[in-house]
A and B are shown apart, each in its own frame.
Chain A
Amino acid sequence: MAIFNLNINGKQSQVDVDPATPMLWVLRDHLNLVGTKYGCGVAQCGACTIHLGNVATRSCMLPVSGVGNQAITTIEGLSEKGDHPVQKAWLEHDVAQCGYCQAGQIMNAAALLKSNASPSDAEIESAMNGNICRCATYLRIKAAIHTAAKLTTTKS
């Protein structure tokens, strides 16, 4: 066990856990941030995607000891009022079916738009390929990312 001070969603949090504990379980079991989902535990499905700094990261394979002072953003902290352009676009396209994968999809999409303000279809497909949606809402996800890109550019 060891104490870690983490910067999550703009707040400082302290946990006392085994240093090997993946961030996924630190978030879910210790900090009650359960929006980040467990899907595979082996970095294959993307359900656990968070932002480490600005980069989309699979929290299931990220030990808490590897975070250091990098800022973490989870789905709960993506926007204060649920009005991030990606969240708005997701609602506009009514993307979700079961919804379980969507936090991971949204976090990955938000990171993509930070590095590429208007991605092409092919760029979206390749950036999002690590996020499985078992309900197969892929086409709506793609359409929503295009909409979010437009919302982002009109805003800035």
Chain B
Amino acid sequence: MESVKTTINRRSFLKVSALAGGGMMLSFSWLAGCNPSAPEEVATLPKEWFELNSYIKIADNGLITLMAPNPEFGSNVKTSLPMMVAEELDIDWKDVMVEQADFFPERYDRQFTGGSLAMQMAWKPLRTAGATARHMLIAAAAQAWQVPAGEITTENGMLHHKGSSKKASYGEMASKAAGLEVPKEVPLKNVKDFKIIGNSKRNVEGVNIVTGKPLFTLDYKREGMLIAMIAFPPAFGLKVKSVDDGAVKAMPGIKDVFTIKTLADDYERNFFDTTSFTELVVVVGNTTWEVMNAKKALKVEWEKIADTTIALAGRGGSKQTVTIPAGLESTEGHLAKMAQMAKKPGKELRKDGDPEGVFKKATKVIERTYTAPFLAHNAMEPVNCFAHVTAEKAEIVAPIQAPEIISQTLVARLGLPKEKIHIKLARMGGGFGQRAYGHHLVEAAVISQKLNAPVKLVYTREDDMTYGIYRPTYTATYKAALDENNNMIAYQVKAGGIPESPLGFSQNRFPAGAVDNYLAEEWVINSNITIGAFRAPRSNFLGAVEQAFLDEVAQLAGKDPIEFRLELLERAKKSPVGKQNDYDPDRYAGVLKLVRDKSNWKGANKDVHRGVAAYFCHNTYVAEVVDLSIKENKPVVEKVFAAVDCGIVVNPDAAANMGEGAIIDGIGNALYGEMTFKDGVPQKNNFHNYRMIRHSEAPKSIEVHFVKNDKDPTGLGEPLFPPIFAALANAIYKATGKREYSQPFLQGKGPLV
């Protein structure tokens, strides 16, 4: 048993007995795995609730409310994080209600969803919260029964003392427990004793989703609420010059047309303050349809922006300046510029041995260049936000992955103290990284402040898709050298992008450490097109192309692609080159071996073409095999096998769901995903021309296998995404004899749906 220090602060241990009534009626239907409240269930509603800490409220009748701290965008944290609390609290999952916490940094440590970090970061604190409360319930029973605490056991929300045959539910002891001292140290369960963790629990929001309950910000309503939309510049590189609003103001249902500035001129932005346009033309009216029509009728004159430099507070307190160049950019120009940069030496990030010398003398050398386009996130719920800002306070309801960071921006822009800004974390209709950027909260709040009225800001799909904050476009050149025995003796990667290099954080990843002579270099080209995190940022390109390149190197070496990788990993394990390598060769090899076995790698059925890839990012190891056939000249993914090492799998079926989603998403983006530009104008603005993967194009089946171990859990939202691009590319090569060097593989080659 592991003993952990409790860090829960005293402030959170308040007895809260005013929670019964309306609020709880609402959340009663959120009982995990239960149907909405039947009248007889409502009749047994608890009279009093006792808060044992920020995460746990126990009712007098034994019902338990667990708070879900992190914003939910579909990765199921609202179910899996409370499972951790429930496990250590030792309760029956069927007695659990889960409630979404508002943004409340004084009570919750890390209310951020992204970077596949939720499981990892919550693992200790949330189990500790559960164990602490359990300990206090035991202490309460020990006092009540006058028996030693060490003799009291718990099971499924019941306390039991064997010697005296005394029994009580947590509900009966909750009031007493809530008044006790918080223990300084509590033991945590052994992995082998887990009853909830590792056993699939259904989405706690399942019933609400299938019955169409209002869960999303776009569904939010408030008496007197107005609808706002923004007329964005039609191109990157333009800004508003003048607005002719005469006709529009007279349109039915329209209240006002005005221009706002979302950030003050001297405001120093932080890393997540990405915003494509800071001066915005706003149309406000009564209903969505009326405002949509008015926005279309609005006449705005645009002008070109000048070169601008902005100050940015960088990571870890550093400061950087970013140049936003003037100009109307086009994809053609981007590709030409990237091709030029790829030829020049880049900024060196890591060098082992003497790569230049070895490349000159090697028996075989192979060099390949890969490109990938900008990608739009296209979360199904378009960007939107509710705000009601008054002189005293701001109320915000928003789809937001990173509330903490944007609350700082809101403080600066609204002139309200932090504690007067209240953010409700609505369920997000997808996030994929884009909802980490809270520009929409600032926009909605500024509009509401100006109108002194509750407002819901709504982006149309076109606004959402053309607004920016895209996955950057990238280029990478890989080079490898083999000796006469077909051992890889040198490896080089030079990568860059617009306006971000994919390489900055990854120079120490495999195959660094597995090859004596290694060089990683990067370059960057500025742009006025905005970018942001997109499911497995940077890795989604690196994993895709490096693993396609290694397939070619293995082929050149005459080796099986799995054996080739295993050989390199063996080398990295036995005599690693350099000290900074950021992967565990055993766990990396483990997923390759598991996928080899599960897919019966050598025994593929004759009708399919196979490709494999493996990648490590976001602390999780993944290997994937794609079985592909070609039908009517189109690639059909028959089956995908994935092997995943993310440590302990908290909620296995939900984890598989997430894995399936990442795989299909990756196949879709590899085949069809791209955003292109002409004179600054995004060339795709809705789903008729931005092709998304659909039902008929999804793989026919997917198997996700997890490595079984007792390591602390790591995330799953992202790691299955990058390698699937490469497994698919490698399978396509097997089928067609042609290597794919530029994503998307099928754009322009197949009919749109």
18 further contact pairs, Cβ within 8 A, besides A41-B686, A90-B206: A34-B218, A47-B380, A91-B206, A94-B657, A97-B74, A97-B76, A98-B72, A98-B430, A100-B380, A101-B429, A102-B210, A103-B209, A134-B432, A135-B665, A136-B661, A136-B663, A136-B664, A139-B698
**Most A-side CB within 10 Å, residue of B35, B206, B221:** B206
| Set of chain B residues within 8 Å of A18, measured between Cβ atoms | 252, 289-290
Q: Does A56 contact B (CB under 8 A)?
A: no
A97 to chain B, nearest CB (A): 4
B196 to chain A, nearest CB (A): 16
B695 touches A128 (CB 8 A): yes
Closest 6 CB pairs of A and B: A35-B212, A100-B429, A98-B74, A75-B212, A136-B664, A97-B74
A106 touches B210 (CB 8 A): yes
Given A28-B288, A42-B686, A42-B687: A99 and B209 interface contact (C-beta under 8 Å)? yes
B289 touches A136 (CB 8 A): no
B238 to chain A, nearest CB (A): 24
CA distance in complex: A35, B218 (Å): 10
Q: Does B132 contact A (CB under 8 A)?
A: no
B658 touches A97 (CB 8 A): yes
- Contact residues, B223-248 vs A (CB, 8 A): 227
Given A40-B687, A44-B687, A140-B657: A98 and B214 interface contact (C-beta under 8 Å)? no
Q: In the complex, what residue of chain A is closest to B227 when comparing beta carbons?
A: A29
B410-427 interface code vs A (CB 8 A; 1 in, 0 out): 000000000000000001
B74 to chain A, nearest CB (A): 3
CA distance in complex: A124, B696 (Å): 9
CA distance in complex: A82, B460 (Å): 30
A99 touches B427 (CB 8 A): yes
- Contact residues, A22-76 vs B (CB, 8 A): 22, 25, 28-30, 32-42, 44-45, 47, 74-76
A36 touches B686 (CB 8 A): no
CA distance in complex: A81, B207 (Å): 10
- Contact residues, B86-118 vs A (CB, 8 A): none
Identify whether the interface residues of A are mostly helix, strand, loop, or mixed: loop
CA distance in complex: A97, B337 (Å): 39
CA distance in complex: A24, B120 (Å): 41
Q: Does B381 contact A (CB under 8 A)?
A: yes
A134 touches B692 (CB 8 A): yes
- Contact residues, B367-398 vs A (CB, 8 A): 378-382
Q: In the complex, what residue of chain B is closest to A141 when comparing beta carbons?
A: B695
Q: Does A1 contact B (CB under 8 A)?
A: yes
Question: How many residues of B are in contact with the other chain, CB < 8 A?
Answer: 69
A144 to chain B, nearest CB (A): 10
Q: Does B625 contact A (CB under 8 A)?
A: no
A91 touches B207 (CB 8 A): yes
CA distance in complex: A96, B432 (Å): 16
**Most A-side CB within 10 Å, residue of B688, B698, B699:** B698
| Set of chain B residues within 8 Å of A21, measured between Cβ atoms | 289
A94 touches B695 (CB 8 A): no
B629 to chain A, nearest CB (A): 15
A41 to chain B, nearest CB (A): 6
A100 touches B664 (CB 8 A): no
Given A75-B212, A87-B210: A137 and B657 interface contact (C-beta under 8 Å)? yes
CA distance in complex: A98, B206 (Å): 10
| Set of chain B residues within 8 Å of A129, measured between Cβ atoms | 694-696, 753
- Contact residues, B13-50 vs A (CB, 8 A): 35-36
Question: How many residues of A are in contact with the other chain, CB < 8 A?
Answer: 63
Q: Does A8 contact B (CB under 8 A)?
A: no
Q: Does B561 contact A (CB under 8 A)?
A: no
Q: In the complex, what residue of chain A is closest to B33 when comparing beta carbons?
A: A91
Q: Does A151 contact B (CB under 8 A)?
A: no
Residue among B287, B661, B688 making CB contact with A135, cutoff 8 Å: B661
Given A96-B206, A98-B74, A125-B695: A136 and B211 interface contact (C-beta under 8 Å)? no
A126 touches B696 (CB 8 A): yes
Given A36-B212, A42-B687, A131-B695: A96 and B203 interface contact (C-beta under 8 Å)? yes
A90 touches B210 (CB 8 A): yes
Q: Does B75 contact A (CB under 8 A)?
A: yes
Q: Does A117 contact B (CB under 8 A)?
A: no
Q: Does A146 contact B (CB under 8 A)?
A: no
A100 touches B430 (CB 8 A): yes
B380 touches A98 (CB 8 A): yes
B209 touches A96 (CB 8 A): yes
A75-119 interface code vs B (CB 8 A; 1 in, 0 out): 110100111000100110011111111110010000000000000
CA distance in complex: A17, B215 (Å): 26
A1 touches B252 (CB 8 A): yes
Q: Does A132 contact B (CB under 8 A)?
A: yes
Q: Does A4 contact B (CB under 8 A)?
A: no
Q: Does B193 contact A (CB under 8 A)?
A: no
| Set of chain A residues within 8 Å of B200, measured between Cβ atoms | 94
Q: Does B482 contact A (CB under 8 A)?
A: no
**Most B-side CB within 10 Å, residue of A32, A40, A98, A140:** A98
| Set of chain A residues within 8 Å of B36, measured between Cβ atoms | 81-82
B252 touches A98 (CB 8 A): no
CA distance in complex: A45, B380 (Å): 9
- Contact residues, B409-461 vs A (CB, 8 A): 427-432, 460-461
